[in-house]
Structure 1
């Protein structure tokens, strides 16, 4: 990142400075930024001649708060700090700016501080958020890691918040598959929060991307975690929630995704689990139930990317042609029956019934007792009962 003067640098420096002045998601600040532009807005805030009309709609207390925050801001120092950490500052109009964030309107980020080498815009175009409870169950952690690994193997970028629980499991799942993952932080990108995830965040910065709205060194707060979730929702094609209580921040992400016309998905849990209660409430509404990566890709992917058809195991009798299946059904469950009785029950002629019964006998489905037929009795003395499946289309 260079800091030489110039039109582009003026905008970039002003936006970098404003990330220290305004909280993420401040729509009033976003409206003023849209109307005045970043350099003009910063000039009005920092001007020693500021008056009551400096910021339209802002009272004296709000203006004083902005001026206090703006005092001593050093955008060049912040840009140098993020560059030293292997990062950069991306703002609207940059080639790497993910334009889907513009859907947030005046709540759009002023800019994004980013660590990592990959192109943010191209990664965001094919990304899915996987979020959920911090205090998750082993089932939830397993599902998050499995889904993330499956998405990564299919070329999708997994986005989450680097928190304990589901977030961490999702990041690790993507990394374990050699895939791409993005961590969206509620603090400066040079701050490892939670501290217990310092190693994980470092791995993500090396193999993927770490980003946030707050400048280097800034700390997280409860409100910043909640506001961070709108960025996760807007950045991605869809949001998957794995375990969430009724009052869970991950549900905020899902609601933002729904408002932004993104796909909203949930992974079901036990009906008695409080950690899945919020997910189940989502599924009662507009969210789609998903259980694996194929089902997620079916929602967020291109037309024709369908999940494989689900079915149980194929049994030998499933491969019988319709006539063979009908005649086998006509053989009584208990006791033998004559060919004429079986033919009548199956609605077939005596000749085709007899021929089919002999084929069923050869395949181990039935056995003959004199002039009668019965179902093969399973057991070690009945080898025919364990024979292989018939050829598809047999008896056709």
Structure 2
């Protein structure tokens, strides 16, 4: 439904580029409708910034933007409406004026339990594989994956999330009507069906390098924490991690080969104590989840037959030689148990296939040595 606030917001989004703090301060202080009136009513002698905004507004058509969005199935979500993710308010004056959302998912609800997965466009097979696995596991556990829709780690994380039923959110640095990168046209179609494409850029706006970096603050703010899967020392993924740290969100990093340039940024985050090391999705969920509700199971090594033995029997087994043989009395002394206990344990160990009776006493069965 078109309201004065949505019309004013659509107009203001044409007047400034993304992330303009001056405009953000005005809107937070006066609201979009009054801010629009202040700018359009400013005199010719107004400051350069106001004159530039006024000139852009003269060429804007907010009704046309809202109509164009509606025709392609997109909607403008603004602060104060039910779908607005209130965690974006943590950005202060850098909060987006509004967000264009194209997809089936409710943006606010989807981001309540969400984690961002970001990383290198030139991802290694290792990084792409792990990013996809994290996306799958998060989706299976009912968590939303937030990323930037780019090649490499972003695309792998989105595809992984789409393997199950939870939504995934792609935050773009261009209008939601533009498929960038072009090779992800089909991926974006799938994301719209199961999640949402999101941007603070009006329809028709093309990406620039600056918009990518400014966009990263939204990825960090929408999610409860950010995982960097792969990143070189100069990487946009580290920029996203920096925004997350500024917002006091959790940051995690995946370790990689020390010889890989694509893991150097992750290792620096870990070395400087800015990120928590995670190796599986359960650990990421524990980090960003709700205290006491999302604990990861403790990883343990494989259970072997020796683990099933009681303490006395293990001591007797440890006292049995691997070669030659030893009598029960010697084994009892070495194990620090009574002879009767040693004899009883040796019988059970023989029945279980751990030891063999030999002419010189008892010896470990060959298959159990080591």
Please indicate the TM-score interval, normalised by the length of the shorter structure: over 0.9
Q: Does 1:318 align with 2:286?
A: no
Partner of 1:359: 348
Determine helix, strand or coil for the equivalent of 1:19: helix
Say if 1:28 and 1:106, in contact at 8 Å, map to a contact too: yes
Say if 1:44 and 1:50, in contact at 8 Å, map to a contact too: no
Q: Does 1:340 align with 2:299?
A: no
Deviation (angstroms), 1:241: 0.9
Determine helix, strand or coil for the equivalent of 2:14: coil
Structure number with bigger Rg: 1
Partner of 1:171: 158
- Provide TM-score, normalisation by structure 1: 0.89
- Provide TM-score, normalisation by structure 2: 0.96
271, 282, 286: which one aligns with 1:294 = 282
Partner of 2:27: 33
132, 143, 149: which one aligns with 1:156 = 143
9, 13, 29: which one aligns with 2:7 = 13
Give the whole-Å Cα distance in 2 for the aligned partners of 1:255 and 1:214.
22
Alignment of 1:260-275 (within 5 A): 260-275=247-262
Determine helix, strand or coil for the equivalent of 1:104: helix
Deviation (angstroms), 1:314: 1.3
Q: Which runs of 5+ in 2 are unaligned?
A: none
37, 49, 58: which one aligns with 2:43 = 49
Alignment of 1:220-239 (within 5 A): 220-239=207-226
Partner of 1:381: none
Determine helix, strand or coil for the equivalent of 2:165: coil
Partner of 1:194: 181
Partner of 1:78: 65
Alignment of 1:80-95 (within 5 A): 80-95=67-82
Deviation (angstroms), 1:377: 2.2
RMSD in angstroms over aligned alpha carbons?
Answer: 1.5
Give the whole-Å Cα distance in 2 for the aligned partners of 1:166 and 1:286.
20
Q: Deviations over 1:162-204 (max 9, x none)?
A: 1011111111111122331111111111111111111111221
Q: Given the superposition, is the C-alpha separation of residues 108 and 171 from structure 1 closer, same or farther in structure 2, using an over 3 Å criterion? A: same
Determine helix, strand or coil for the equivalent of 2:15: coil
Q: Given the superposition, is the C-alpha separation of residues 304 and 345 from structure 1 closer, same or farther in structure 2, using an over 3 Å criterion? A: farther
Partner of 1:277: 264
Deviation (angstroms), 1:48: 6.4
Q: Does 1:330 align with 2:319?
A: yes
Determine helix, strand or coil for the equivalent of 2:366: coil
Determine helix, strand or coil for the equivalent of 2:215: helix
Q: Does 1:211 align with 2:205?
A: no
Say if 1:149 and 1:179, in contact at 8 Å, map to a contact too: no
Partner of 2:359: 370
113, 124, 145: which one aligns with 1:137 = 124
Q: Which runs of 5+ in 1 are unaligned?
A: 3-8, 53-58, 379-384, 387-396
Q: Deviations over 1:53-91 (max 9, x none)?
A: xxxxxx43x233222322221000000011111011010
Give the whole-Å Cα distance in 2 for the aligned partners of 1:374 and 1:117.
68
